[in-house]
Amino acid sequence: MPRVSTDQLAARRRQILDGARGCFARYGYEGATVRRLEQSTGLSRGAIFHHFRDKDALFLALAEQDAERMAEVVADQGLVQVMRELLASPETLDAGWTGTFLEIARRGRTDPGFRERWRAHAEALTAATQERLERQARAGVLRDDVPIPVLARYLELVLEGLVSQLATGMGAEDSATNLSAVLDLVEGTVRRR
- How confident is the model over 180-185, as a mean pLDDT? 90
Yes or no: say if 133 and 190 are a contact pair by the CB < 8 Å rule: yes
Q: What is the pLDDT of residues 24-75, one digit of tens each?
A: 888 888 899 999 999 999 999 999 999 999 999 999 999 888 888 888 999 9
Q: What percent of the chain shows pLDDT beyond 70? A: 90
CA distances from 105 to 28, 99, 119, 152, 185 (A): 11, 10, 11, 18, 25
Q: pTM, whole model, 2 decimals?
A: 0.80
Looking at domain 57-190, which CATH architecture does it have? Answer: Orthogonal Bundle (1.10)
Domain range list for the chain:
57-190
